[in-house]
Structure 1
Amino acid sequence: MSRHSFDPEIAGRVGLNAAVIFQNITFWIEKNRANRRNLRDGRYWTYNSISAFGELFPYLSEKQIRTALEKLVSAELIIKGNFSVDCH
């Protein structure tokens, strides 16, 4: 059984759903920093698809996840980027 947590200050800024997702993102970024993995443009990063977030947070709809992520970007709590490798 997984447990979900959040920072009440972050929840006050961007809402509960975004705060819960932010906590998950923060966990993975801290883990990547500790392991010196996924460093790009001077920042450690992590990634997940909307459907993967849906698996982690089954009580949130895809729309709620998208909205939460948009709130985190707007609040400048996360940065959205595309680091896919072009295979062509």
Structure 2
Amino acid sequence: MSRLLINESPVMIIPSLAAKIGLNEAVVLQQIHYWLGISKHKIEGKTWVYNTYEEWQKQLPFWSVSTIKRSIRSLEMLGLLLSDNWNQMKMDKTKWYSIDRKIAGV
């Protein structure tokens, strides 16, 4: 028997992180951390992952795109999440993300 009720990929919640930075922010930061762990995109000494807000919403379907935008903006303002545009075509506004591990303490 599986330890999950439904056979799908779970979303991780770390209670101490959620208490410190907020539930939404903790879930988004953990999701980005997960993807950074398998990303092959190394730029300027950091690993990066990219997604549109709509693509993040497919992974976190219980939130609206606007909630995801707010959570990402909050993480950027806290200095935990780095974002940039590393796209080949600068007209492509898909954001790339990395975690500032010095500030995040991870």
TM-score normalised per structure 2: 0.71
Aligned-residue sequence identity (percent) comes to 25
Larger Cα-atom Rg: 2
User: Unpaired runs of 5+ in structure 1?
Assistant: none
- Structure 1 position 82 matched with structure 2 position 58: no
* CA RMSD, Structure 1 to Structure 2 (Å): 1.7
Greater percentage in strand: 2
User: Unpaired runs of 5+ in structure 2?
Assistant: 1-7, 92-106
How many Å separate the matches in 2 of 1:58 and 1:87? 28
Query: Is the contact made by 1:14 and 1:71 (CA closer than 8 Å) also made in structure 2?
Result: no
Count of aligned pairs: 84
1 or 2 for the larger relative contact order (CA 8 Å, sep ≥6)?
A: 1
Greater percentage in helix: 1
How many Å separate the matches in 2 of 1:12 and 1:47? 26
Aligned to 2:15: 8
Q: Hey, which bits of structure 1, 4+ residues long, moved more than 6 A?
A: none
Q: Deviations over 1:14-54 (max 9, x none)?
A: 2111111111100111222xxxx200111001011110111
TM-score normalised per structure 1: 0.84
